[in-house]
Homo-oligomer: A and B are copies of this chain.
Amino acid sequence: MTEALLLDLSGVLYDGGDIIPGALEAVRRARQSPLALRFITNTSQRTRAALLRHLRGLGFELAPEQLFTAVDAARQWLRQRGLRPYCLVHENIRGEFYDFDQRDPAVLIADAAEGFSYASLNRAFQLCMAGAPLLGVGYNRYFKSGGELLMDAGAFIRAVEFAAGVEAVIVGKPGAEFFHQVTDSTGVAPGRALMVGDDVFGDVEGALNAGLQACLVRTGKYRAGDEGRVAGEFAVVDSVAEAVALALPRP
């Protein structure tokens, strides 16, 4: 039985500026159902405000408090500990961390895209070698954009972890804490929440490890055979329309 529905964004609802067929109607149906609905993303190339604008521009209706981002989770984690990050992040979201004093050593790695250089990664490595905690948005391997697969933040987090011999704190998916922040906001137990995503590791495996139900969609970055790369029981469907139909209470 499912009482809460968590939807990943990119690759599930849209691909860049294109709506995944059936996604608008699927979200509308979910909104009109008794399901608690949340949107959950590791995307770190856009601010929360820009994400909301993008979703609404495409025609998706949601309240700001229904959107959970790994960038918000990073801000909260740093804030709670009074840490000041060296930010290896995309220039688009740099402003989200302007209110932190950035002199002090914690390292935050998000999807910095062209901001990943030998110099910036080396600086992150040196801070970690000197004892700074390493914070990562998620272990995302790659994402799809304009029909191309592109390396995502996870690979660069792994690089710094390996070089410095440390383990990152993952604030977004697949971290269990992030999934629980979202389910806690619904009042629904994790076991009664369904996570829908196109990333078999970050979305599906992460959700299962956090005690949620999971559903893999064959859109976005999905590649044939992905369902075999993760153990555990989860649904595999063609798109978010089918995923929502699965989650809706039987009439």
- CB-CB < 8 A to A163: which residues of B? 141-142, 151-152, 154-155
CB proximity to B under 8 Å, residues A30-62? none
Would B165 and A155 count as touching, CB distance under 8 A? no
Q: Mark A146-174, 1 if CB is under 8 A from B, else 0.
A: 00111110111011101111000000000
Contact segment of A18-26, A67-75, A122-130, A234-242: A122-130
Given contacts A126-B149, A129-B149, are A141 and B121 in contact (CB under 8 A)? no
> Is A116 interfacial (CB-CB < 8 Å)?
yes
> Is A99 interfacial (CB-CB < 8 Å)?
no
Would A121 and B126 count as touching, CB distance under 8 A? no
Given contacts A156-B159, A159-B159, are A122 and B141 in contact (CB under 8 A)? no
How many copies of this chain does one complex carry? Answer: 2
Chain A interface main SS type: helix
- Shortest distance in angstroms between A130's beta carbon and chain B's nearest beta carbon? 10
Would A160 and B149 count as touching, CB distance under 8 A? no
- CB-CB < 8 A to A162: which residues of B? 141, 154-155, 158
Report the separation of the CA atoms of residues A163 and B164 in the bound assembly, to the nearest whole angstrom: 19
- CB-CB < 8 A to A125: which residues of B? 142, 149, 151, 155
Given contacts A114-B119, A116-B118, A116-B121, are A160 and B155 in contact (CB under 8 A)? yes
> Is A188 interfacial (CB-CB < 8 Å)?
no
- CB-CB < 8 A to A118: which residues of B? 112-117, 151
- Shortest distance in angstroms between A5's beta carbon and chain B's nearest beta carbon? 29
Report the separation of the CA atoms of residues A144 and B117 in the bound assembly, to the nearest whole angstrom: 19
- Give A residues with C-beta under 8 Å from B: 112-119, 121-122, 125-126, 129, 141-142, 148-152, 154-156, 158-160, 162-165, 229
What would 14 A/B residue contacts be, using CB atoms closer than 8 Å?
A116-B117, A116-B118, A121-B151, A125-B142, A125-B151, A129-B142, A129-B149, A142-B164, A151-B160, A154-B162, A155-B159, A155-B162, A158-B158, A165-B229
